[in-house]
């Protein structure tokens, strides 16, 4: 007789994993329709640059990396990310105390919640926003408080709309620019306001800088460029998006020494760092001339312009994203986000992500990935045009 295994109550608190459901649905439909265009996911379509792959190949033969490495990572990788931030953003980072290596920033999001939140605490999250912020908060038993990202405020949270009571109760704030899903970017003034609010109300800031250099109107700002940022928070940096290394699972938490120390202590119990070959290849990427990143950003910019131009041709009034590799397009009148997404699936064999999957304020939009060539993007919009909705 099978034993009755009881699930922990924490498991019941977990939100539905939005992206897992979306991936499963897209895979099922791909088997049914050989002309399916999937623009609903955030998985890059370009290979990792050859020089990074070669660096991994060479490092994999190093005997030193076949043993357990330092629990908190090799100093050479921490020094590489510190040098990268100095070169790219003019930000000074102490490799020993202001840099943590993490097995992907998705993992870091959950771990930072465990470091900073207790059961019943309040955490501020962007809405719409990356769904895994909610996952990390739920695992700790904390409560998520949405910060609306509205078009009339350039998809930035308006701190004046949050009551003093909410700000006083908040124990953490997630931000993400360039933004997923809206494609918005943040300026120095917004980050200055963020530091002021965080300091005034004692709110640690976690800035998710996953899309780093992917900006179409100049290089996006790092939160750590703002004076006082390291006093109030940390920034998440990942190798996934800029170097097409999503499957390699290498990321960093950078900035505030206290938060970095907490995270590294927690990770001592969870991980034994990353394979040394991955760390060596990542250091190689960070120390390169960044030409591969510039080429990738140029590619996404061309795709963004092609998508926008195609939308204009069918009468779809949309705005171009400022950064990331996503576009955030309003749905036609008379449709909810899910209704429009289902219509595109059924009639156009096109997968997009419904905006309400990113939060209540995502309703009325769909997210479209710039993760296919220009011809495919134009074909996708042409299919929408054939539905005569605009």
Name the one residue in this structure whose structure tokens are 């109300």. Answer: 201
Give the pLDDT of residue 41: 84
- Mark which of 241, 264, 286 sits at the end of a domain: 286
Q: Which CATH number covers residue 354?
A: 3.90.1150.10
Residue 1 lies in a domain: no
CB atoms within 10 A of CB 280: 21
Are residues 300 and 261 both part of a single domain?
A: no
Residues 122 and 103 in one domain: yes
Q: What is the pTM of this model?
A: 0.95
Same domain for 246 and 347, yes or no, is no
- pLDDT at residue 8 in the model: 84
pLDDT at residue 22, as a whole number: 63
Q: Are residues 43 and 92 in the same domain?
A: no
**230 & 325 share domain:** no
**Is residue 159 over pLDDT 70?**
yes
**Average pLDDT in the 245-256 region?**
97
Is residue 2 domain-resident? Answer: no
How many CA within 13 A on the CB side of residue 79?
Answer: 4
Instruction: Give a yes or no: residue 3 inside a domain.
Output: no
β-bridge mates for residue 206, sequence order: 174, 234
Q: Is residue 170 part of a domain?
A: yes
Mean predicted confidence (pLDDT) in 189-214? 97
- 209 and 163 in a common domain: yes
Per-residue pLDDT at 21: 66
Q: How many domains does the chain have?
A: 2
pLDDT averaged over every residue in the chain = 94
User: Is 240 part of a structural domain of the chain?
Assistant: yes
Q: What is the pLDDT of residues 44-99, one digit of tens each?
A: 899 999 999 999 999 999 999 999 999 999 999 999 999 999 999 999 999 999 99
The tens digit of pLDDT for each residue in 215-234 reads: 999 999 999 999 999 999 99
Q: pLDDT (tens digit, 9 = 90+) per residue, 319-334?
A: 999 999 999 999 999 9
Strand pairing category for 251-255 and 233-238: antiparallel
Which CB contacts under 8 angstroms, 24+ apart, belong to 240-243? 240/44, 240/104, 240/105, 240/210, 241/44, 241/210, 241/211, 241/212, 241/214, 241/325, 242/212, 242/213, 242/214, 242/293, 242/296, 243/48, 243/49, 243/52, 243/285, 243/292, 243/293
Residue 245 shares a structural domain with residue 300: no
User: Is 129 domain-assigned?
Assistant: yes
Phi and psi based region of residue 155 (left: phi greater than 0; alpha: psi -120 to 50; beta: remaining): left
Domain boundary among 251, 286, 321: 286
Based on the domain organization, do 20 and 83 belong to the same domain? no
pLDDT of residue 200: 97
340, 332 Cβ separation under 8 angstroms: yes
pLDDT of 3 reads: 86
Which CATH number goes with the domain that contains 54? Answer: 3.40.640.10
- pLDDT value of position 30: 66
Please check whether residue 390 lies inside any domain of the structure.
Answer: no
Rounded Cα–Cα distance for residues 222 and 59 (Å)? 30
User: Quick one: 131 and 250 in the same domain?
Assistant: yes
Asked whether residue 139 falls in the same domain as residue 273, the answer is yes
Tell me the average pLDDT across 116-125: 98
49 or 346, greater pLDDT: 49
Distance CA 133, CA 173 (A): 10
Could you read off the pLDDT of 3-60 as tens digits, one per residue? 888 888 888 777 776 666 666 766 777 677 688 999 998 888 999 999 999 999 999 9
In a domain, 336, yes or no: yes
| Bond into 357 cis (ω within 30) | no
Is 82 in the same domain as 205? yes
Shared domain for 98 and 163, answered yes or no, is: yes
Out of 258, 286, 314, pick the residue that ends a domain. Answer: 286
Q: Which domain holds residue 191?
A: 50-286
């Amino acid at each position: 007789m099978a034993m009755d295994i009881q699930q922990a109550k924490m498991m019941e608190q977990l939100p539905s994993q939005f992206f897992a459901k979306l991936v499963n649905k897209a895979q099922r439909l791909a088997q049914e329709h050989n002309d399916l265009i999937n623009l609903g996911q955030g998985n890059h379509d370009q290979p990792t640059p050859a020089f990074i792959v070669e660096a991994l190949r060479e490092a994999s033969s190093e005997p030193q990396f076949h043993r357990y490495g330092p629990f908190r990572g090799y100093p050479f990788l921490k020094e590489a990310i510190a040098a990268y931030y100095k070169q790219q953003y003019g930000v000074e980072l102490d490799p020993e105390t202001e840099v943590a290596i993490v097995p992907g920033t998705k993992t870091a999001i959950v771990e930072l919640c465990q470091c900073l939140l207790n059961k019943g605490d309040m955490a501020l999250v962007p809405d719409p926003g990356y769904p895994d912020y909610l996952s990390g908060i739920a695992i700790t038993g904390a409560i998520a408080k949405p910060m609306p990202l509205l078009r009339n405020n350039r998809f930035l949270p308006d701190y004046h709309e949050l009551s003093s009571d909410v700000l006083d109760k908040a124990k953490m704030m997630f931000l993400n620019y360039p933004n997923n899903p809206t494609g918005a970017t943040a300026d120095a003034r917004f980050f200055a306001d963020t530091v002021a609010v965080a300091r005034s109300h004692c709110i640690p800031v976690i800035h998710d800088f996953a899309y780093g250099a992917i900006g179409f109107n100049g290089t996006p700002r790092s939160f750590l460029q703002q004076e006082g940022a390291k006093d109030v928070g940390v920034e998440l940096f990942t190798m996934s998006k800029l170097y097409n290394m999503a499957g390699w699972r290498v990321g960093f938490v950078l900035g505030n020494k206290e938060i970095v120390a907490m995270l590294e202590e927690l990770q001592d119990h969870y991980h034994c760092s990353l394979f040394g070959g991955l760390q060596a290849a990542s250091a190689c990427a960070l120390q390169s001339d960044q030409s591969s990143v510039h080429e990738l950003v140029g590619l996404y910019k061309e795709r963004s312009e092609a998508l926008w131009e195609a939308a204009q041709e069918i009468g779809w009034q949309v705005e171009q994203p400022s950064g990331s590799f996503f576009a955030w397009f309003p749905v036609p009148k008379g449709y909810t986000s899910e209704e429009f997404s289902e219509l595109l699936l059924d009639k156009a064999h096109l997968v997009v992500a419904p905006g309400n999957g990113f939060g209540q304020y995502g309703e009325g939009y769909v997210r479209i990935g710039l993760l296919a060539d220009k011809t495919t993007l134009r074909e996708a919009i042409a299919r929408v045009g054939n539905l005569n909705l605009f």
